[in-house]
């Protein structure tokens, strides 16, 4: 990717990519283990997973909104980014102390406060650092590096879970090391020059454009279906895969996501954001339907398709919001997106846990498939009626 720079501040973009890489090595070393640790070690119900992951998403959204709003006021993003990565690193070893599921909830809260504090400021710095016509490429690069880190972290999780005989506590302690490497890399990031409004301290209002709120509303609608990936791992184990094999199936997802994110997000710079998002959400609906009705062997191809969904949507959705927001308000725009997504994900995860425990293990996935299909149709209609922003 060395030849990709054609404008903007690609030094910042590359550094944020590598920071995301090591942070996700740390996160994904632990993430496949969390639902299995809760279920098999702590004997917690699925509703505990719903609360843990749902509250985590709500915290991310709230912190992202607050830090994004503050960073817009001053134009200074890097301090929030550094603090966020530090807290996320500290959250990993705290899980090793857990003997009841509420301690896992607290450790995840520390981790997710960190993720929230860094997310909107990092995304705003990415958006500002991208040159004209390169937003999809910039976000795609960051997501590709993030997913490459997830791939390495997931592979380490598979190997370590087998080697450590599912001693999850040691795994949580080891994840601290790459997390601190990510913190060290943030020291090389540089803030961009302030805009006149930021210099005055007046860049504090929310974005007002109708296309922005259409983007955020449609994404929030979809997120009601988007229960935590931890439920996919739990379902894989439920369908008959051993814990290490369940983590291995998740590794397939991260491999495909890492391979596809940059190309698909860059493609959105040419064909538009909405077509990629619609295709991705339809793939998500197919995956969730398959997880509801499938068997152990179908988990592997379904999680490969899930990787394509992720590659086609995550960075692209942020680029779509970037297109609909002014430079002075991009921290808040990304923060609003994270906040509303967080509320929707909180509700979606609580509902998924309740459906799993109260209705049946296939129920969260049938619900998710139905809502994702409806969100795809809504996005398609908004795009065809030109309610969404043009490329910028």
* pLDDT of amino acid 209: 81
* pLDDT of amino acid 313: 93
* pLDDT of amino acid 143: 83
CA distance 51 to 100: 14
CATH number for position 301: 1.20.1250.20
CA 205 from chain centre, in angstroms, equals 26
Task: Note the pTM of the prediction, 2 decimals.
Answer: 0.75
Q: Is residue 377 part of a domain?
A: yes
Least confident of 15-19, 83-87, 141-145, 352-356: 141-145
* pLDDT of amino acid 51: 85
149: pLDDT strictly greater than 50: yes
* pLDDT of amino acid 5: 44
Q: Is residue 195 part of a domain?
A: no
Per-residue pLDDT, averaged over 222-235, amounts to 90
List the domain range (segments joined by +) for residue 94: 14-190+208-384
* pLDDT of amino acid 60: 87
CA distance 57 to 228: 9
* pLDDT of amino acid 351: 93
CA distance 94 to 38: 14
Q: Single out the residue of 280, 162, 153, 190 nearest to residue 226, CA to CA.
A: 280
Per-residue pLDDT, averaged over 299-327, amounts to 90
Q: Is residue 9 part of a domain?
A: no
2: pLDDT strictly greater than 50: no
- pLDDT tens, position by position, 19-51: 999 999 999 898 888 888 888 888 888 888 888
* pLDDT of amino acid 1: 41
Residue 4: band (very low, low, confident or very high) from pLDDT cuts 50, 70, 90? very low
- pLDDT tens, position by position, 272-288: 899 999 999 999 999 99
- pLDDT tens, position by position, 236-282: 999 999 888 888 888 899 889 888 888 888 899 888 899 999 999 99
CA distance 378 to 387: 11
Alpha carbon separation from 285 to 167, 205, 290, 294, 371 (Å, rounded): 34, 36, 9, 14, 8
75: pLDDT strictly greater than 50: yes
Q: Is residue 228 part of a domain?
A: yes
* pLDDT of amino acid 203: 54
Per the prediction, the chain carries an average pLDDT of 87
Give helix then strand counts, H and E, for the chain.
Answer: 16, 0
- pLDDT tens, position by position, 322-341: 888 887 778 888 888 888 98
* pLDDT of amino acid 3: 39
* pLDDT of amino acid 205: 65
Split into its structural domains, the chain has a count of: 1
76: pLDDT strictly greater than 60: yes
Alpha carbon separation from 168 to 36, 50, 99, 216, 276 (Å, rounded): 9, 20, 12, 37, 37
Q: Is residue 91 part of a domain?
A: yes
Tokens of 118: 């860094």
* pLDDT of amino acid 257: 87
Q: Is residue 268 part of a domain?
A: yes
Per-residue pLDDT, averaged over 8-20, amounts to 89
Q: Is residue 200 part of a domain?
A: no
Q: Is residue 242 part of a domain?
A: yes
* pLDDT of amino acid 217: 94
């Amino acid at each position: 990717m060395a030849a990709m720079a054609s404008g903007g501040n690609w030094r910042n973009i590359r550094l944020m990519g590598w920071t995301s890489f090591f942070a996700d090595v740390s996160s994904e070393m632990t993430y496949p283990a969390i639902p299995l640790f809760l279920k098999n070690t702590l004997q917690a119900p699925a509703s505990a997973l719903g609360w843990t992951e749902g509250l985590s998403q709500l915290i991310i959204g709230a912190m992202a909104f607050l830090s994004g709003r503050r960073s817009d006021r001053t134009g200074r993003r890097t301090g929030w980014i550094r603090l966020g990565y530090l807290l996320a690193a500290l959250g990993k070893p705290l899980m090793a102390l857990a003997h009841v599921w509420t301690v896992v909830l607290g450790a995840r809260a520390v981790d997710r406060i960190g993720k929230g504090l860094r997310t909107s400021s990092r995304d705003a710095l990415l958006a500002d650092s991208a040159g004209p016509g390169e937003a999809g490429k910039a976000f795609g690069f960051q997501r590709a590096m993030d997913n490459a880190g997830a791939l390495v972290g997931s592979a380490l999780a598979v190997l370590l879970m087998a080697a450590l005989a599912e001693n999850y506590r040691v795994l949580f302690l080891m994840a601290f090391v790459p997390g601190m490497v990510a913190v060290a890399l943030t020291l090389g990031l540089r803030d961009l020059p302030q805009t006149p409004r930021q210099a005055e301290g007046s860049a504090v209002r929310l974005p007002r454009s109708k296309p922005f709120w259409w983007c955020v509303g449609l994404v929030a609608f979809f997120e009601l279906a988007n229960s935590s990936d931890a439920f996919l791992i739990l379902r894989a184990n439920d369908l008959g895969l051993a814990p290490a094999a369940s983590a291995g199936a998740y590794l397939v997802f991260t491999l495909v996501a890492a391979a596809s994110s940059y190309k698909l997000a860059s493609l959105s710079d040419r064909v538009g954001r909405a077509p990629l998002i619609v295709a991705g959400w339809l793939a998500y609906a197919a995956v969730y339907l398959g997880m509801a009705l499938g068997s152990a062997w179908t988990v592997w191809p379904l999680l490969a398709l899930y990787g394509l969904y992720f590659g086609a949507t995550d960075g692209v959705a942020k680029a779509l919001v970037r297109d609909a927001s002014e430079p002075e308000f991009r921290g808040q725009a990304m923060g609003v997106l994270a906040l509303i997504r967080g509320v929707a994900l909180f509700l979606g995860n609580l509902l998924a846990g309740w459906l799993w425990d109260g209705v049946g293990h296939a129920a969260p996935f049938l619900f998710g498939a139905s809502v994702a299909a409806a969100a795809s149709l809504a996005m398609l209609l908004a795009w065809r009626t030109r309610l969404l922003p043009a490329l910028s």
